[in-house]
Every structure is written in structure tokens, then in C-alpha cells.
Amino acid sequence: MSRSALCLLLLLAGAGVVVWQVAGRTGGEAGGVRPERTAAPRGGERGETGSLADVRSWAYQLQGLEAPGAIDRLVRAPVDLFVLEPTTTVRGSEDFPIRGVVRRLHARARSSTTPTLCLAYLNVGQAEDYRTYWQEAWRPGKEHGDEQGFVLCEDPDGWEGNFPVAYWDPAWQRLLFGSSTALLDRVLAQGFDGVYLDWVLGFVDETVAAAARRADVDPARAMAELIRDLRAHARKTHPDFIVVAQNPGDLLDRVPEVAGWMDGIAQEGLLFRGAATSDWEAPEAVGKRRPDEGEGSSVSVARLLRRYHDAGLPVFTVDYARTSEDRAEAVALSRGFGFVPCVTRTPLDRIPDHVFSPVEAPR
């Protein structure tokens, strides 16, 4: 992750506005002023569920929601924010009652002094072959008729069934938003408070970058503008709709104004990183520790994130750790910088037992 110098960030708290200003970047590139971010009022049904700034704990589950007892376990989890797989766009699970799940979780906020927010996971940089939109004829790099070959390659980290895409392609963007069957529009209809965007750093992938050069596209700016357009589309329907981006560090560096199009940021593996696996007990599901010093170390990443935190963007962290000692260390580091921690394992197929522990409960 590169390191740009950020100048003083002026917070106009009384007016509810954050004005961003970024100093010149390394190498002499000119800085700029980010668009104003005005906190949207939380009204109507969503107003009863709290706000992102109120969140002190969160949980992350993308698989296993259909397992017996999984939803009851979610409802009992003592956390303020859930990031969930919407599920109905998974082939074979189209009838999963995710709207009812979101309503159950929101109902907790009306009987509690703590918030309950629900964000839907949305991969904006990759196509997934288990989704209902996937066509069997699609292959990486192959022309697909009207789709014009936006599927570029296989996932570089080994996640089976995931394919980086040319996310600037209008055909891909039509799958994401703008119709009743598009992914974002379905999330809106299901009552989610917002989205949790993955693969926003797609532009660093060599195959994606090469495709962007052929198309004469700046891939970082194209991703930033996609985030802007997704958020603007959602807020036509729900003015308080939340957008949180996972691992956006290099994007924030390359296109500083994108911070004004996000409501929060999340960082995977601040201290402990995991690898691609579907096995909760697999060794690679947890524990690959960041270096203690130098560029890319946990502290250097945390210091960069803290600058955005201090400018008004809530920061969430997710670490992949097995032992109570590792979990405690990850939580302490995150909270020490003012962030909101979550500790789990990379399959993301359950709420971990330690969430319910009187000793390790996330509050």
C-alpha cells in the first residue's frame, strides 16, 4: 500500500459537514479538495436502526445462513452491525427469506438502546459463477455476445468461482444496478441499510489493469466513479443508504475524492490475515500475521486508516484468528486506534463462538 501525505482535515461538526483536503502526493502530483460529505438524516424505518457512527461491534457472515439455527444465532449475537450475504442471488437459494431476516435484526433496535444495522455484501469487481446472473457460456477472456467479454480471469487469490471483471463495462454495471433484477436494486428491496463493497482494489490486478489500458480507461478512477454511481442510485430510493468499502487503501490514495462517496471503510487482516478456504478448521483460515515493522506492517496500515477515521469515516477491521490470545491482540490493536474490530475465520460461514463469550464479547 502506498503512502500519500494528507494535510489537515477540517471538520465542521456543528454544520454536520466534513470538508476534505489532500496535500500534494508523492512525486509532485497535485492534490485536490474532496466533495463535501453531509450526514444524511436517518428517517423512516431505517431511522429506528441506528447510525454507522453508533456501531461499536460487528459480525460478518457470507455462507451458512441457511443452516439450522443460523438466523437465531444472528439474532442473539451481541453486535451492532451485520454484514451478510443477501443469498437470494445465489443459484438454488432464490427463495431464501432474507427480507424477513433483516426485519428480525432491525426489530432488535426497537427494543434496545443499541443500533442494529444490516449491510449486504456486494462484490463490485468480480463476477461469481454461483450467482443467478451467471451464464454457463462465460469464460475468462472470451467474447460473450452482448456481454463483450467483461469476465477477464480467475481469482488471483484462489477463491473458486470468482472472476475479476472489466467493471467499467456497461454490461457489468447493468448487472449491478439500474433494474429490478440488478444486485443493488434487490438489496434495496430487501430492506438492507447499505452495502459492503468488496474488490474495490480490482485495478491493482495485472489482468484488469491490462484490460483497462486496452480500453483507454483509468481503472482506479473507473472504480471510484462506480462507487459514486452506486451510492447515488441507492440514495434516490433511500437517502440514508450506507456504503462501506473493504480494503480501499490504494483507491483512496489514487483517487482521494472517493472518500466523499463512502460512509465507512473496512480493512481485512489489520493484524492477522487468512487465505482462501471453505474449511473453518483449516490452518490457512487464520493467523497469517502482518510484519511488525516497515511498510505494510499492522501499525503503518493502522496509522493511515486513522487519518480517515479522524476525518469522520468510521473504520472497521476484520482479522482472522483462532486462539483467544491472537483474538485479544487483534481487538486491542483495532480499538487502540479507535476502530471497530471483528475477529472470525475466512470461510465466514458462522458467527464465532467467542462472540457469545462473557470474556470475549465484542462490546
91 and 200 housed in the same domain: yes
pLDDT at 145 over 60: no
Q: Which domain holds residue 102?
A: 40-268
Is 26 part of any domain? yes
Is 332 part of any domain? no
The pLDDT score that the predictor gives to residue 25 is 27
23 and 146 housed in the same domain: no
168 and 27 housed in the same domain: no
pLDDT per position as a tens digit, 192-202: 999 999 999 99
pLDDT per position as a tens digit, 40-54: 333 333 445 578 999
pLDDT at 29 over 80: no
Which of 268, 285, 307 is where one domain is finished? 268
Average pLDDT for 312-320: 97
The pLDDT score that the predictor gives to residue 49 is 58
Is 363 part of any domain? no
Model pTM score? 0.85
The pLDDT score that the predictor gives to residue 340 is 97
148 and 183 housed in the same domain: yes
251 and 108 housed in the same domain: yes
Is 292 part of any domain? no
What is the rounded average pLDDT for all residues in the chain? Answer: 84
30 and 47 housed in the same domain: no
pLDDT at 123 over 90: yes
Burial tier of 158 (Cβ tally within 10 Å: 0-12, 13-18, 19+): exposed
Is 91 part of any domain? yes
pLDDT per position as a tens digit, 278-312: 789 998 888 889 998 888 899 999 999 999 999 99
The pLDDT score that the predictor gives to residue 146 is 42
The pLDDT score that the predictor gives to residue 158 is 84
58 and 156 housed in the same domain: yes
124 and 202 housed in the same domain: yes
Is 10 part of any domain? yes
Give 361's pLDDT tier (boundaries 50, 70, 90). confident
113 and 175 housed in the same domain: yes
**Structural domain tally of the chain?**
2
128 and 202 housed in the same domain: yes
pLDDT at 268 over 50: yes
Is 339 part of any domain? no
Is 87 part of any domain? yes
33 and 51 housed in the same domain: no
The pLDDT score that the predictor gives to residue 112 is 65
Give 358's pLDDT tier (boundaries 50, 70, 90). confident
Give 106's pLDDT tier (boundaries 50, 70, 90). very high
Instruction: Give the whole-angstrom CA distance, residue 83 versus residue 61.
Output: 6
143 and 93 housed in the same domain: yes
